[in-house]
Amino acid sequence: MIETSANNLASVPAIIPYLKSAESCGIDYFPLLKQAGIDAQVLSDNSKHIAGSAMEQLLLLLIKASGDNCFGLRSSQFVEPASYSVLGYICMNCSTLRAMQAKIPIFEKIVGDMGVTSVEVKNGYVLQRWQCKFSDNLAARHEVEHVLGSWVTYARKFLNFAPQDEVWFQHSAPSDAALLADYAEIFGCPVLFDQVSSGLRMREDRLDVPLPQANEKLLEMLLDHATRLLAELNHSQLVTDQVKNLLRLMIKQQAPSSAVIAEKLGMSSRTLQRRLGEEGSHYKDVLNELRLELALYFLKNTELGLESIAYELGYAEARSFYRSFKQWTGQTAGAYRAAQR
């Protein structure tokens, strides 16, 4: 399981499906909110976030109150685009699932830090994984089932598309075999337990099926809005994280200078370098760390050519990317891709 952080956050929209599910079960959740340390008034503002630890505690209380071993899974039926904040509407307006998957790692933090999405492509199949950050195993199991159930419900209801061929869970099947019918009903495909990862598995060709509701102009507006939200959220983070997230948004074609990033953060270049130094980092280190992270992702999970990857990483010349990648990893980009395949 991914290491948790005291600074993890969960957006209000991410909590609402759980509360609607509790309400449908006749649960008075307001005392549980108070017990988890959540101000009920915060829930009226979808732009707000609460501590991830508070959400984890609330989920445990709701599971106990419901007495339902599939509470997280059943709560996924209450998902709607707003449950993912602006990211939900961004996904609705992407032209393909592949385009959608490219946006999730950038803007996922707006929804919260409860877990991390990643994509693995292998032998003509794609596994869209989700790894939970919750420390409690019971809460993590319900959250994982909720997230994967929400993905499928969202795709079915709002994209008119059901991409998954199989659903994988890293945890074991419920001890009550009768509950397996609920998994089959919600996912509508084979559900496998005790797998290496939790995620949706699908044929790779499904990633490029056109999504008819896509709207390019609306998508641009939503991306601008999401960028502003992410920048606002970044103010609560380490400067290193703020710089990295801004670079993630701006790096394509030409990596911005530290002066440009400093201006975006409302500080001077000297102040930026000092703040990074206090956190044991340097602007060039953050830039290279992000470039390596993205390079490994593109080489492993996409068919982009090496020159196109260099462009995505903000290199003016592809040979600069080749040289840097060899320096970082000790092998060429081509050799790394071949080894992954």
Give me the CATH topology for the region 9-208: H-NOX domain (3.90.1520)
204 to 91, 128, 199, 209: CA distances (angstroms) = 18, 11, 14, 10
Spatial distance between the Cα atoms of 204 and 124, rounded to a whole number of angstroms: 5
Per-residue confidence (pLDDT) for residue 234, from 0 to 100: 61
Concatenate the DSSP letters of all residues of 209-259 into one string. Answer: S--TT--HHHHHHHHHHHHHHHHHHHTTS-HHHHHHHHHHHH-SSSPPPHH
Rg over CA atoms, the chain:
21
89: helix, coil or strand?
helix
Per-residue confidence (pLDDT) for residue 266, from 0 to 100: 83
44 to 13, 39, 47, 59, 238: CA distances (angstroms) = 10, 10, 9, 19, 28
Spatial distance between the Cα atoms of 329 and 292, rounded to a whole number of angstroms: 9
* 166-168/191-192 β-pairing: parallel
Per-residue confidence (pLDDT) for residue 122, from 0 to 100: 82
Concatenate the DSSP letters of all residues of 140-194 into one string. Answer: HHHHHHHHHHHHHHHHHHHSS----SEEE-SSPPPS-GGGHHHHHHHH-S-EE-S
Spatial distance between the Cα atoms of 214 and 262, rounded to a whole number of angstroms: 35
Concatenate the DSSP letters of all residues of 6-74 into one string. Answer: TT-EEEHHHHHHHHHHHHHTT---HHHHHHTT--GGGGG-TT-EEEHHHHHHHHHHHHHHHT-TTHHHH
Spatial distance between the Cα atoms of 110 and 12, rounded to a whole number of angstroms: 10
Structure tokens at 333: 């980009």
How would you write the pLDDT of the chain (341 residues) with one tens digit per residue? 333 344 588 999 999 999 999 999 999 999 999 999 999 999 999 989 999 999 999 999 999 999 999 999 999 999 999 999 999 999 999 999 988 988 887 788 899 989 989 888 888 899 999 999 999 999 999 999 999 999 999 999 999 888 899 999 999 999 888 899 999 999 999 999 999 999 999 999 999 999 989 999 999 999 888 877 877 776 656 888 888 878 887 887 688 899 999 988 888 999 999 999 999 999 999 999 999 988 998 888 777 889 989 988 999 899 999 999 999 999 999 999 998 87
Contact 144, 76 (CB under 8 A): no
Phi, psi of 20 (to 5 degrees): -65, -40
Per-residue confidence (pLDDT) for residue 265, from 0 to 100: 82
Hey, do 9-208 and 237-340 end up sharing a CATH topology, with the first three levels equal?
Answer: no
Spatial distance between the Cα atoms of 2 and 145, rounded to a whole number of angstroms: 17
Whether pTM exceeds 0.85: no
Give me the CATH topology for the region 237-340: Arc Repressor Mutant, subunit A (1.10.10)
Instruction: Provide the residue ranges of all domains of the chain, joining segments of one domain with +.
Output: 9-208, 237-340
Stated as kind and residue range, the H or E segment containing 121 is strand 115-122
